[in-house]
Structure 1
Amino acid sequence: MYKVKICGITSYHDAIMAVEAGADALGFVFYPQSPRYISPQDAKNIIERLPPFVEKVGLFVNEDADTINAISQQSGITLAQIHFEAPQETLDELRVPYIMVTRAKSEDDIAELDGRYRLVDAYCEAYGGMGKRLNLDWFKGKDNRHIILAGGLSPENVHETLQYGFYGVDVSSSVEKEKGVKDPEKVRTFIANAKKSAT
């Protein structure tokens, strides 16, 4: 059964709706160029009202360790999602647990994964929420237990991934009414379909 992250949360209404629908994690985008950007203070106002045992994930692009640490502390996130090629020195300075994102261009990028937990998204010039799908054939015959799959997933197609044995899935744009505003029915359907067992 997949772990499910609903990303691009911008309101408490959407956050609690997703949690009640079964989301394991919520994503907060701290990338100012994103239409789903949320300020650290607004994220805090949501996070401090959430029930326990929900992962609160902050998405970061091209930030230094001091900035990531400061935003993490202010907002109350429990995991940093690093969407850029951060140097090891930056990662060593982080005071919050983190997960790296691989923006895959080809099957070779999948083959190079080292067994640590990773979020794998389709490569595009922009960062996050573009809805571009990965080629699932790249994952055939591989150990995918440490991969969280993102990119182009929807309530209608997430079931196609179940046979590959990923750790979890991450969705944003395909469960929205408009950018930054979630559609409750789409969220519920996505989570229900993602948490079915592979047959």
Structure 2
Amino acid sequence: MIAIKVCGIKEENHYELLAKLNVDWVGLVFYPPSPRYITPEQASHLPDFKQQGLQRVGLFVHPDEEEIETVLEKVRLDVLQLYTSLEQACFIRKRFNIPVWLSKGIKRFSDLPTSCPLDGLVIEAPASKTDTRPGGNSKQFDWRITQSWRAPKPWVLAGGLNCRNVDRAISLSGTRAVDVSSGVENQLGIKDSQLIQNFVTKVRNCNDLNCL
């Protein structure tokens, strides 16, 4: 089965839909410049469907421990997804004892990590100098790059995925997990229930049709 993460959820009805669709991870963005930003207070009021298998991933950009601590005081998180240095990610992993995924932007095969002391990787296209965010910019890389990669840890394919291209992305990249955000939005930062459903259906059909 291809695992699914839907990132940038802010509305309770969308959160409930992910649980109903048996999605694997919901991503909560704790980065104020993002149009998908959710405050710790807002996140604390979202339902918790961990018993149904829906895990929470908290996304942070160059965080210090106080920032993460503030969120964890209000919100239970299963995974921390970090845009930061490897050294800082390792420190945060040890400090909070929560699984950490490191986000990594790549352009070529040589950019892919050959070792990883953390729990997972999120692989996407790198941000450009004009981007205001390190990820979530709807950018793609050549998915064929990862096909022969011997990943040191489980990894998630992100960046520019939607219901029109996710089957091709899975086939070309060899990924076992996908991460969607803008691809299920009808406007910047606003998720669409039908697009979420279409995306999940497309991935599940890809499982049935053996896209890999």
What is aligned with 2:138?
131
What is aligned with 1:60?
60
Q: Which runs of 4+ in 1 moved over 4 A?
A: none
Structure 1 CA distance for aligned equivalents of residues 192 and 160 of structure 2: 16
2:196 is the alignment partner of 1:187: yes
Structure 2 CA distance for aligned equivalents of residues 174 and 89 of structure 1: 32
Instruction: Describe the SS at the equivalent of 1:191.
Output: helix
Q: Deviations over 1:35-59 (max 9, x none)?
A: 11000111111144x3522110100
CA RMSD in angstroms, aligned pairs only: 2.0
Q: Deviations over 1:88-123 (max 9, x none)?
A: 33442233221111111322112x332652111110
What is aligned with 2:106?
104
Structure 1 CA distance for aligned equivalents of residues 114 and 82 of structure 2: 15
2:123 is the alignment partner of 1:120: yes
Q: Deviations over 1:135-165 (max 9, x none)?
A: 1121132335822000011100000133343
Greater Cα offset, 120-129 or 57-66: 120-129
Residue correspondence of structure 1 range 71-86 to structure 2 within 5 A: 71-86=71-86
Instruction: Describe the SS at the equivalent of 1:74.
Output: coil
Q: Answer 1 or 2: higher relative contact order, Cα 8 Å, separation at least 6.
A: 1
Structure 1 CA distance for aligned equivalents of residues 69 and 99 of structure 2: 10
Q: 1:176 to 1:169 in 2, by over 3 A?
A: same
2:159 is matched with which residue: 151, 175, 189? 151
Structure 1 CA distance for aligned equivalents of residues 147 and 98 of structure 2: 33
Structure 2 CA distance for aligned equivalents of residues 90 and 146 of structure 1: 19
Structure 2 CA distance for aligned equivalents of residues 83 and 67 of structure 1: 14
Question: What code does the residue aligned with 1:108 have?
Answer: S
Residue correspondence of structure 1 range 5-16 to structure 2 within 5 A: 5-16=5-16
Tell me, which stretches of 5 or more residues in structure 2 are unaligned?
Answer: none
Post-superposition offset of 1:70: 2.9
What is aligned with 1:140?
147
Post-superposition offset of 1:86: 4.7
Identity %: 26
Instruction: Describe the SS at the equivalent of 2:73.
Output: helix
Task: Give the number of equivalent residue pairs.
Answer: 197
Instruction: Describe the SS at the equivalent of 1:60.
Output: strand
TM-score, length-scaled by structure 1 = 0.89
- Residue 175 of structure 1 contacts residue 186 of structure 1 at CA under 8 Å; is this kept in 2? yes
Instruction: Describe the SS at the equivalent of 2:62.
Output: coil
- Residue 138 of structure 2 contacts residue 159 of structure 2 at CA under 8 Å; is this kept in 1? yes
Instruction: Describe the SS at the equivalent of 2:45.
Output: helix
1:92 is matched with which residue: 91, 94, 107? 94
- Residue 28 of structure 1 contacts residue 37 of structure 1 at CA under 8 Å; is this kept in 2? yes
Instruction: Describe the SS at the equivalent of 1:156.
Output: coil
Structure 1 CA distance for aligned equivalents of residues 167 and 137 of structure 2: 20
- Residue 26 of structure 2 contacts residue 56 of structure 2 at CA under 8 Å; is this kept in 1? yes
TM-score, length-scaled by structure 2 = 0.84
